[in-house]
Amino acid sequence: MKFDSDGCLLEIKNLQIEGFSEGRWHDIVNGVDLTLKRGEVLGLIGESGAGKSTIGIAAMGYCKAGCRIKPGSSIKFDGMELTTASEEDKRRLRGARIAYVAQSADAAFNPAHKLIDQFSESVIQHGVGSREQAYADAKDLYSKIRMPEPDTIGFRYPHQVSGGQLQRAMTAMALSCRPDLIVFDEPTTALDVTTQIEVLATIRDIVELFNTSAIYISHDLAVVAQMADKIVVLRYGELVEEAETRAMLDNPKEDYTKTLWAVRTFKKPTVAQCTDYDPVVRVNNITAKYPKTSNPVLTDVDFEVYRQETVAIVGESGSGKSTAARVITGLLPPLQGSVVLDGETLPPDYHDRSIAQLQAVQMIYQMADTAINPRHKIRKIVGRPLSFYLGMAGDEKQRRLNDLMNMIEMDPKQFLDRYPDELSGGQKQRICIARALAANPKFIICDEITSALDQLVAEGILRLLDRLQRELGLAYMFITHDLATVRAIADRIIVMLEGRIVEQGEKTAVLEPPHHEYTELLLSSVPEMNPDWLDKIMAQRTSQKSMQSAGNWPVENTLLTLFVSTCRFVRDQYWRPGHWWNAPSKQSTQ
């Protein structure tokens, strides 16, 4: 990337931040020094609790509630000392010259306002343009980051778009005033790999086009390799190592950095599908759509999950993965088809299901921050299913709470009386696992539960789930866009596209060539630990798209056609009402 080697936009010296908990102040960041030039992208990596996000928002002159910047720290943005600047001066900077893209889009958006109105707010407040100009710019940016229906999607509310679409909308919102500095806090965490490529390329193009500086926080080392000019490794609030990206990737100096490069070693032994018994859950030819929509979201979806088996469902944002989970749990009654649990057909609507039926199917959600009540202590969060499903109280309930906390490897004496905001991201997700286990379920749906976690923490969660599955005989449906997670945890894989299953089978069969064309697209879109990978992929796509436009690209060469475009191109080219194109492939089921 090109940047001004002389123009320093951000200079942080001796940054010290402390947080208040358990009646005293604790050090969070310890004397970190950083510099960022105009047009430069700085990558911050490290495990959960390393201080990445704390440093990122400190670059805006901001601290979360319960935290404070200690005297002696210096944060200079374009010559302005933010540690001593007035709140009014900092408010004028935020949103206009410094923008922030949060990790959890669900928690960041106001659910009562349309996306395009939230995009326009900074533009109008900072006097950058009129509402009409903001609307036009929003539609243009939505198109650049490949949002579906860019001219109209902004008029939806946050709950009316998928998680990946919401994350992209927040990226566009941060760009609304064309700031000098953008802090990206895990901006592609919720995105599938095919969408992630487009968003990463868009972010990089805009950084270069407007000479924007960026702090890119991520636990995905391959993504940081594509985005950053320089990488800083953090641990326990201290700077471990700093180097140019290529130098860091080729020759990390510190032992801790080397361990980050070597994570994700876990791989569960594949469990053979046991067809001697009925499946725990069978989904029979489900077709479903949401109210007030005309097109089905799921069409003829059919699969089963057996005891002690993990079935991974993969596909792009909007492919129907989470909708299938909603149908199984009874949150979305299907138009046709049925869900069978242990040989018993479940009522389509969860309101009509018995306590025993509700108890048997539990769900762990993607964002632990929004899945648990921040005003309740862990004791109440995990204890509620014990009372509701099992009628436990008193000493019996306390013993079971202790057992559940020990199952998830968290000391009950230390954690039961804490609030969620006193826990790390990985700890919160473990609490969500404990809450699901409290119901004594047979089947657990895990919806992107490791996507917001750094790789070290995510591996710990996967190992925990594997151990619990073996000990308790659980069946899992694992919804994910992370193919590294699929390789680690899955026994079988289901690939979905536009609400249909295009391929399913044993993990080794699906992941080894020859692949179905869409599966090949997913596998080819996984970032590599090579700084040139994104440039190579985008150049290849641009070249091949030009060949296609010139008429020199045979449409029957579907693999490469798929590779140069998004999944929606496949739908537009090969789907017609009443007909779904599917080239011959092993394991194809539709």
Instruction: Enter the DSSP assignment of 65.
Output: T
Q: Amino acid letter at 541?
A: R
Helices 131-144 and 163-174: crossing angle in degrees, nearest 10, is 130
pTM comes to: 0.73
C-alpha to C-alpha distance for 47 and 41, rounded to whole angstroms: 20
In sequence order, which residues have a C-beta less than 8 Å from that of residue 429 and are 6 or more positions away?
364, 368, 449, 450, 452, 453, 461
CB 296 within 8 A of CB 315: no
Q: b/e map of 273-291 (b: 16 or more CB within 10 Å)?
A: eeeeeebbbbbbebbbbee
pLDDT at residue 150, as a whole number: 92
pLDDT at residue 383, as a whole number: 96
Q: Where are the domains of the chain?
A: 8-109+180-260, 281-512, 523-580
Q: Amino acid letter at 313?
A: I
Q: Which of these CATH numbers, 3.40.640.10, 3.40.50.300, 3.50.50.60, 3.30.450.40, describes 8-109+180-260?
A: 3.40.50.300
Class for the domain spanning 281-512: alpha beta
C-alpha to C-alpha distance for 507 and 492, rounded to whole angstroms: 5
Structure tokens at 314: 């993969």
Q: Which of 477, 440, 468, 448 is nearest to 310 (CA)?
A: 477
C-alpha to C-alpha distance for 34 and 102, rounded to whole angstroms: 21
Q: Amino acid letter at 186?
A: E
Beta-bridge partners for 36: 10
C-alpha to C-alpha distance for 315 and 325, rounded to whole angstroms: 14
Residue identified by tokens 């906390």 is: 405
CB 567 within 8 A of CB 518: yes
Phi–psi pair at 423, nearest 5 degrees? -115, 155
Low-confidence spans in the chain with pLDDT less than 50: 553-590
User: Per residue in 293-334, pLDDT tens?
Assistant: 888 999 999 999 999 999 999 988 778 998 999 999 999 999
Residue identified by tokens 């005309």 is: 294
What 3-state DSSP class applies to 67?
Answer: strand
C-alpha to C-alpha distance for 29 and 587, rounded to whole angstroms: 51
pLDDT at residue 274, as a whole number: 61
Beta-bridge partners for 313: 479, 494
Q: Amino acid letter at 422?
A: E
In sequence order, which residues have a C-beta less than 8 Å from that of residue 127 and are 6 or more positions away?
none
CB 221 within 8 A of CB 231: no
Domains 8-109+180-260 and 281-512 share a fold: yes
C-alpha to C-alpha distance for 380 and 390, rounded to whole angstroms: 15
What 3-state DSSP class applies to 379?
Answer: helix
CB atoms near residue 311 (< 10 Å)? 23
Contacts of 406-413 spanning 24+ positions with Cβ under 8 A: 407/434, 407/437, 407/468, 408/433, 408/434, 408/437, 408/464, 409/464, 410/434
Q: How many residues does the chain have?
A: 590
Can you state the percent helix, strand and coil of the chain, rounding each to 5?
A: 40, 20, 40
Contacts of 255-263 spanning 24+ positions with Cβ under 8 A: 257/233, 260/45, 260/46, 260/47, 260/221, 260/233, 260/455, 260/456, 261/221, 261/529, 263/455, 263/456, 263/459
CB 508 within 8 A of CB 270: yes
C-alpha to C-alpha distance for 387 and 588, rounded to whole angstroms: 44
